[in-house]
Amino acid sequence: MIPDVKLNGKSVREMGWIRENIDFPTPQSQTNTIVVPGRNSPIRYTEALGRVSYQPRSFTIVLSMLGTRKQYDQKVSELVNQYAGKLIKVIRSEEPDVYALGTVEFAPVYDPLLRKGTITLECTDGDSYFYHVKESEVVISGSGTVTFQNDFMPVVPVVITTGETAFSWRIGEDTYEKSVSAGTWEFPEMELGAGENRLSVKGEGVTTFRYREGRL
């Protein structure tokens, strides 16, 4: 398989570029510590909100092409005009099921002796998580227990009901209950954690849950 990258669904290889190098380091956790005189260990706020938060993901992609300066300039112009400074989805051929999200800036360089041009795509403000390309959907008709399988990123599903419906679920030691009419709903308390999540549904209509999974 020839290495490739898709920008908003468009292959850079099909645009005439060769992917030379790609670097997607794991984002670092957000850490904040206070050193208190007299204590042997600092006060750590990494999990102050109940979970670890992560810094923006930075990544770099290096593309190249062979050709005249005119051909190179044309390719660079096409690329920059489409994507510079814009929020884009980046999919690597090694992992086609997930995408990174961020804005990209470009740094072009052309070597007339080699008749080779390169362009570096750099992102410093990417979302911490890789998102699944395909949105997850769970549908239940009537009453029953729904089981959600979720990747690492916490996510709140969008709930679509066709009639009066009641929900109940637990997160840790806390129990939650919601009753709604037909419509589209989103409950911040209905947050899915990593792995298996269960929720009880009572109603006579059809209930649909949609959510996009993510991971580091």
Spatial contact of 122 and 134, defined as CB atoms under 8 Å apart: no
- Whether the model pTM is above 0.75: yes
What are the backbone dihedrals phi and psi of residue 173, each rounded to the nearest 5 degrees, phi first?
-95, 0
Burial of 117 (0-12, 13-18, 19+ CB in 10 A): buried
So what's the pLDDT on residue 182?
94
Interatomic CA distance for residues 5 and 141, integer angstroms: 40
Q: Alpha-carbon distance 12 to 146, whole Å?
A: 41
Place of tokens 């699944």: 132
Structure tokens at 3: 């290495």
Residue 158: half-sphere exposure toward Cβ, Cα within 13 Å: 10
Torsion angle defined by CA atoms of residues 184, 188, 194 and 199, in that order, rounded to the nearest 10 degrees? -60
Q: How far apart are CA 211 and CA 123, in angstroms?
A: 26
What is the Cα–Cα distance from 8 to 81, expressed in whole angstroms?
A: 14
Give pLDDT tens digits along the chain (216 positions). Answer: 789 999 999 999 999 999 999 999 988 887 777 777 877 777 776 655 567 888 899 999 999 999 999 999 999 999 999 999 899 999 999 999 999 999 999 999 999 999 999 999 999 999 999 999 999 999 999 999 999 999 999 999 999 999 999 999 998 888 999 999 999 999 999 999 999 999 999 999 999 999 999 999
**pLDDT at site 49:** 58
Identify the bridge partners of residue 84 per DSSP, sorted by sequence position: 104
